Amino acid sequence: MSNPHVVVVEDEPAIRRGVTDALRISGYQVTEAADGDAGLQAALKRGVGLVLLDLLLPRRDGLDVLAELRKSRPTLPVIVLTARGGEDDRVRGLRMGADDYVVKPFSARELLARVEAVLRRSPGRSDGPSGAKLGAAKLDFHRREVRWPGGDRSELSETETAILTYLLAHRERTVSRDDLLANVWGIAPHGLETRAIDMHVARLRAKLKDPSGAPTPEAVVTVRARGYMAGPEFVPLEGRA
């Protein structure tokens, strides 16, 4: 499988050039953008498989770009590039659906590891189940969507899909946050704040609520002080969803 097309949205020329060179040396096709407007236009083009997005951008703020991307391409993987100390912005980015973040200054090795980890979570490369049932809802992990009997649908991001498939694949036990960091994010347990996981789980729970208002079983159950596990009514489907 060829490496995907990556859009790098970063206004600092030296950082943008370093990121772009590292990606190209590793075999990625790269498009550069120096401001939010240009970055959004580039990210929405056909064939783009990943966006590296700075938060402090001219013309259009990075969080605004992220919000627009989530409206138009809700499953497109996005890694936020953020300055050290900007915890509030990182938190907002994760809540809005960023798949991961890298804190500046970062090494090319760290960045490439994060890129590879996010891309490994593609359902096409997953060894987990292809679908699941949650109450009246059916989840299709290949299409990354949730379907309800009335015809309503909700789209899942790469990371959300990866969390669900991992929990289902290990439904007989509690999965710790460190376990999720290592096997979903693909990084060392202390390489990312655990609140990032909790935020993704919170977004998942919101997406898995029945739009009709009917009670919905829990897909992800919190086990206090230990982690998460698949809910008893969240079960894998045989074959395709």
The full set of domains in the chain, from first to last, is: 5-120 (3.40.50.2300), 124-236 (1.10.10.10)
Give the sign of the dihedral formed by CA 236, CA 185, CA 82, CA 76: negative
**What is the per-residue pLDDT for 124?**
42
**CB-based contact 179:162 (threshold 8 Å):** no
| Below-70 pLDDT ranges, the chain | 1-2, 84-87, 89-90, 121-129, 186-194, 238-241
**What is the per-residue pLDDT for 1?**
47
Q: Could you tell me which residues come within 8 angstroms of residue 187 by beta carbon, excluding any fewer than 6 positions away?
A: 113, 114, 117, 181
Angle (CA) 53 200 215, round 5°:
140
CA 30 to chain centroid: 20
**What is the per-residue pLDDT for 190?**
59
Q: Which two tokens stand for residue 153?
A: 């649908």
- C-alpha span between 194 and 183 (Å, rounded): 14
Question: Within 10 A of 146 (CB to CB), how many other CB atoms are there?
Answer: 26
* Global pTM value: 0.63
**What is the per-residue pLDDT for 28?**
93
Q: How many residues make up the chain in this entry?
A: 241
**CB-based contact 52:7 (threshold 8 Å):** yes
**What is the per-residue pLDDT for 122?**
54
- C-alpha span between 40 and 21 (Å, rounded): 21
Q: For the segment 32-57, what is each residue's pLDDT rounded down to a tens digit?
A: 999 999 999 999 998 898 999 998 89
- C-alpha span between 185 and 99 (Å, rounded): 9
Question: Within 10 A of 213 (CB to CB), how many other CB atoms are there?
Answer: 7
**Residue 43, strand partner residues:** none
Q: Which two tokens stand for residue 212?
A: 């009709």
Q: Which two tokens stand for residue 109?
A: 């090795």
Residue given tokens 């991961």 in the structure block? 100
- C-alpha span between 92 and 199 (Å, rounded): 10
Peptide bond into 58 cis (omega under 30): no
Name the maximum alpha-carbon separation found in the chain.
52
